[in-house]
A and B are shown apart, each in its own frame.
Chain A
Amino acid sequence: MMIRKLAIVALAALFFASTAEAKQKHVELEAKAELEVEVVNEDGEKTIQRVPAVKVMPGEVVVYTITARNVGEEPATNVVITDPVPEHMDYTGSVTGDGARVTFSVDGGKTYDVASALTVPVGGGSKPAPPEDYTHIRWTFNDALEPGSAHSVEFRARLQ
């Protein structure tokens, strides 16, 4: 029994060592989908709590949180997170991206610009793009992501 366990540990160590050599991963990404629910505490105060997106019906707003974590030993620079707005969802116009420049695409990720500069064609001309027309959201980090540190960005989208 003991011997078998040891063998597994040794195998696992070998495996990790080999992958680390072949492809060094410095930044890990994590995505979460959550709902915001109003909770009344014992003092009768209402607070907003986030719960996993378990019950999602049309019209529900989902908070997506994407976290980049530097698991390497060198600073990661020019960090750019890109998130296509999921199919069946409409971006609501609510985005959080402290320490990052947030740009959007309305053409399926071909071009990105700040929200105020985005237009979509209407008739012969164009009009400001409504948030639900956004196809991609991009966060370009201002600063390097230092080893051991993590940075999260968020956006909200409504289920069609």
Chain B
Amino acid sequence: MLQLNMKWIASAVLVLALVVSADVVLADGTQAGTVVLNTALVDYDVNGTGQTQESASEDFTVDRKIDLTVAVNHVAYVQTSPSSTTAILRFTVENTSNDALGFALSAVDEAAATVEPTLTGTDEVNAITFAIYEDVNGDGLLDGGDTQDYIDTLAIDATTDVIIVAEIPAAAAITFGDNLMLSALAQAAESGTLGATLVTASGADAQDVEDTEFIDASGDTVAGTDAVDDAIHSDMWAFVIQGADITVTKTATLFSGSYYIPGSVVEYTITVANGAGVEDATNVDLVDTVPANTTFVGGTLTVGGVAQSEGTSGDDFGDFNVSTAGAVSALNMTVATGTSTDVVFRVTID
């Protein structure tokens, strides 16, 4: 038992040592252009007498490694709806180089068969327009300070947010998706504008010169535009078009009397339901004309179990014979996803 404990302690110490040493090194390494100088010294005696110390030095200049990571900032695909002009996909761009960099941002509407991430749905929708911005304040929304199509400068190890704002066609079919791929191309860092294109070292090279090397991985390669070592990284994500999924059912029950005969009162229940996993439906209007040969029973209209003032339209949801002649109306209702609202009223059979 004691032996076991000792082993455990030893491994704990080892883990601690690893953690501590990992802390010493900066995540993305020594700044490009740093001159690393090594100086060796030699002391010696001749004929038992100490001699002047000699030294020798050698230096090299740290080269610039260009590396970046584009990653989507969602875990599930992004729901949007037909005609949305503010459908937003969120990404992050991380500078994993050893120098400050700028980035040119671009996006393509991918025609991949399935939406990303691979869940249900296929990519049969194309955004009407889309634009890419650095989301400077990181709120996931398009604001005044956000710059379009570029990141001017990003420090070593730093991460910034990027959004794609898209306009979805009105005819976009529910449950279908649209894949968009964001690509970032590393550029020189600049202030307030896009920096210059980076050039890798070619031909003559020297130990005391800072060279530029691309060492980035390939990202999503559906378009075949993102290889390794090209200063580009990309990631794809999808909108899934979600509307509401409204269904209406109407039932009639005999409220008073034994038969459906003149003088009996019939209660109608109209259930407005919205499907699970879709968008909340707002401004839902229900209009139901009171059947011929029946008479609306005043004071019986309820919406969601709440009695309505029937003589005025707009003060609450329901009215009778005001917004539509001879009809029960329930207007501007909100039906959240996975819920239903009952509209109930009674009529007397003439």
Contacts and interface: CB of A to CB of B under 8 A. Distances in A.
Interface of A: 23-33, 52-59, 62, 64, 66, 68, 72, 74-84, 86-90, 122, 127-128, 130, 132-133, 145, 159-160
A122 B28 CA distance: 26
30 contacts: A23-B52, A26-B44, A27-B44, A27-B51, A29-B40, A29-B54, A31-B39, A31-B57, A32-B58, A54-B60, A55-B205, A55-B211, A57-B29, A57-B98, A59-B29, A64-B38, A64-B58, A68-B44, A74-B46, A80-B42, A81-B40, A81-B42, A82-B42, A83-B38, A83-B39, A88-B30, A90-B25, A127-B13, A130-B20, A160-B25
Given A29-B55, A132-B24, A57 B48 contact: no
Contacts of A33: 38, 58-60, 207
Nearest to B28: A58
B128 interface: no
B36 A55 contact: no
Nearest to A70: B44
Counting chain B CB atoms within 10 Å of each CB, which of A25, A30, A81 scores highest?
A81
Given A29-B40, A77-B45, A160-B29, 17 more contacts: A27-B51, A28-B56, A29-B54, A33-B207, A53-B207, A55-B201, A58-B28, A58-B62, A68-B42, A75-B46, A82-B42, A86-B38, A88-B34, A88-B62, A89-B38, A130-B21, A160-B24
B36 to A, nearest CB: 5
Interface of B: 13, 16-17, 20-21, 24-26, 28-30, 34, 36-48, 51-52, 54-65, 98, 201, 205-207, 211, 213, 215
A83 B41 contact: yes
B222 to A, nearest CB: 30
Contact of A122 (B16, B41, B55): B16
B43 A58 contact: no
Nearest to A33: B58
A66 B207 contact: no
A24 B50 CA distance: 12
* Most central of B42, B58, B205 by chain A CB within 10 Å: B42
B203 to A, nearest CB: 12
Contact of A31 (B40, B48, B65): B40
Contacts of B16: 122, 127
A112 B20 CA distance: 22
A77 B26 CA distance: 42
Contacts of B42: 27, 29, 68, 79-82
Contact of B44 (A58, A80, A87): A80
A57 B200 CA distance: 13
A108 B131 CA distance: 55
B31 to A, nearest CB: 9
Contacts of A32: 58
Contacts of B58: 31-33, 64
A26 B42 CA distance: 11
Query: Max chain A CB contacts within 10 Å: which of B26, B34, B201, B207?
Result: B207
Contacts of A122: 16-17, 20
A24 B21 CA distance: 44
B273 to A, nearest CB: 59
